[in-house]
Structure 1
Amino acid sequence: MIAGARGAGAFPRMRASGSIFQTPWHRMPRPHSDQLPTTRMFSEIKKLPAYRELIINFAMREIKAKYKQAALGVSWAVLQPLLQILIMTLVFSVFARVPSEGIPYPLFLFTGLLPWLFFANALNRGTTALTNQAGLITKIYFPRESLVIAGLVASLVDFAIAASIYVVMLIYYGVSLSPYALMAIPIFLVQMILVFGLMLLLAPLNAFYRDVSQLMPVLITFWQYLTPIMYPLKMVPARYQALYSLNPMVGIMDGYRSVLLRHQMPDMNLLAYAFGVGIVLLVFGYSQFKRVEMKLADIA
């Protein structure tokens, strides 16, 4: 059972019932579509805290749906990254002999792989956030971005569980953290801005074109190989560094290694670029999301 919340402004109170909400879609007031998305954006954002209980419930449903059919349940949040560490270490360290800057390769790998798994899971959840709840969208009105935010929250839960592996690895390899490790927090915030902007773009795009969700696993894998996760940034030839660094995840992934393993400041130019790209994607993604929001009930 999902409980509603009292919205502000144009969003009336939604009360729980046997069919999840009582207020039907056709009786819900619509936001004014003649307003510019950039003008409406901040007023719409202010309404979201009123729906925090709804977002949490959506996130819990997302997590339960992912693991309820698995015999090992939520344990897969730990087992999946462990298996990936094992396989990638075998391929890239044992066979390919990829250098790891004097750091034990499993730790070197997981410093990048852990935040990447969060990024990939969030993108996948964001892409299908609307289509997975098509029945709910056609019945009642609530801010559709609540579903996207719920996907982000669910991915954060998976990330927090998997992060326990990283703590164990730091202890096992005897690696201590320096004060620079605190910089991992703003780096992670930059990553969240970037991924949320992409989620807001992908969710309605997949609602209109269902092929998007089929392409995402391939695109995410391709993006992963173009990001310094399994290998250090220094392996990229100097003549390609500028082009390679157009990938905003480059500065983020290398930044984690700088502050957690190298005990130094990250490349602030690369991080500033990633932050700028993230802000542009967030503003553009949210404005476009609100622009097409009222059409989603017809095509989701």
Structure 2
Amino acid sequence: MALQLSELWEYRELLYFLTWREVKVRYKQTALGAAWAIIQPLFTMLIFSLFFGKLAKVPSDNIPYPLFCLAGLVPWTFFANGLAQSSNSLVTSSNLISKVYFPRLSIPLSAVLSGAVDFTISFALLIGMMTFYRQVPPARCVYLPLFFLLAFVTALGVGLWLSALNVKYRDVRYTIPFLTQFWMFATPIAYPSTLLHEPWRALYGLNPMAGVVEGFRWALIGADTAPGPIIVASSFAAALILIGGAFYFQRMEKIFADLV
């Protein structure tokens, strides 16, 4: 079964407008607007720094704990928001789906793409935090786009699965907050993956976001934990999730208009 990616390319202008629509809807009639992209990771970092950094004395690989935590929260927030937006995107676009034909894949794809705006804003906060701690990015920061791509692939892959399932089973949306919360604590954001020893640390990389978070810290703030085995496992898992989600999404696509 072909994924018809060429058709998605033909509708690239529609993808652009859907993405821009997602951005505008997200900030429409909000008091703080784009500031939410800073508030969410900032306040989560403060809470984690208090309870995990100060009280629990969780190690942070010789990196100031607030910076250690925020470096994990920035890519995680992009993933979590992309997952939440894409998983419910088909249901919220039901009027559009039932009226005209276009590649349905562009709907969850635009939902994830729109999160790049928030990511850019929160990334600026991370750079400001690095400046405060006088942390200079190492030369390996050139690998950051690859880790962002891994986060994007993971968010899109899971979003394709959940958006298709949410059309058929509407109670799927109620499981998403629980799934996101569980996934966050299963990802080394508040703690380092070095707490695990091999081979368990490599297996831990089957959680794709573990590779993303460890990769961000290694590339941007100079963490000593090179994410070699974790990245291999995370990339493999993310690719499987995306390919499986894309084929399942396409198999369900022909009945979306009837179900929404």
Q: Normalising by the residue count of structure 2, what TM-score does the alignment of the two structures yield? A: 0.93
Q: Distance in 1 between matches of 2:126 and 2:173?
A: 30
How far apart in 1 are the matches of 2:214 and 2:38? 23
Question: Partner amino acid for 1:276?
Answer: F
2:187 corresponds in structure 1 to 227
The 2-side partners of 1:279 and 1:59 are apart by: 23
Which deviates the most, 261-270 or 113-122?
Answer: 261-270
Query: 2-side partners of 1:225 and 1:155: how far apart?
Result: 21
| Greater shift in the superposed pair: 99-108 or 238-247 | 238-247
Cα offset for 1:240? 5.1
CA distances 1:78-113 after superposition (whole Å, capped 9, x unpaired):
222222222221221122221212211111001111
Other-structure match for 2:122 = 162
Instruction: Report which stretch shifted further, 204-213 or 282-291.
Output: 282-291
Superposed CA RMSD in Å reads 1.8
> Is 2:187–2:210's contact at 8 Å kept on the other side of the alignment?
yes
Alignment of 1:1-300 (within 5 A): 37=1, 40-41=2-3, 44-236=4-196, 241=201, 244-262=204-222, 266-300=226-260
User: Hey, what's the Cα distance between the residues in 2 that align with 1:242 and 1:48?
Assistant: 35
SS at match of 2:206: coil
CA distance in 1, matches of 2:12, 2:38: 27
Inter-CA distance 99–176: structure 2 relative to 1 (3 Å threshold): same
TM-superposition CA deviations, 1:101-148 (whole Å, max 9, x none): 221111100111100000101111110010011111111111111111
* Partner AA of 2:104 in structure 1: R
Q: How many residues are paired up?
A: 260
Question: How many Å apart are 1:244 and its aligned residue?
Answer: 3.5
Unaligned runs of 5+ in 1: 1-36
**Change over 3 Å in CA distance of 1:75–1:106 after alignment to 2:** same
1:150-205 residue CA offsets vs partner (Å, 9 max, x unmatched): 10111111111111101111111100111111122212222222221111111111
Aligned-partner Cα distance in 2 for 1:295–1:255? 39
Identify the residue that residue 32 of structure 1 maps to in structure 2. Answer: none
Q: Aligned partners of 1:95, 1:269: CA distance in 2, in Å?
A: 31
Q: Secondary structure at the match of 1:234?
A: helix
Q: Report 1 or 2 for greater relative contact order, CA contacts < 8 Å, sequence distance ≥ 6.
A: 2
Larger fraction in helix? 2
Pairwise CA distance, 1:69: 2.8
Work out the percentage of aligned pairs sharing the same amino acid: 37
Correspondence for 1:24: none
Structure label with greater radius of gyration: 1
Tell me how far 1:221 sits from its aligned partner: 0.6
CA contact 1:181–1:263 (8 Å) conserved in 2: no
TM-score relative to the length of structure 1: 0.81
Inter-partner Cα distance in structure 1 for 2:25 and 2:134: 37
Residue 243 of structure 1: how far off its partner (Å): 5.0
In structure 2, the CA distance between the partners of 1:206 and 1:258, relative to structure 1 (3 Å rule), is same
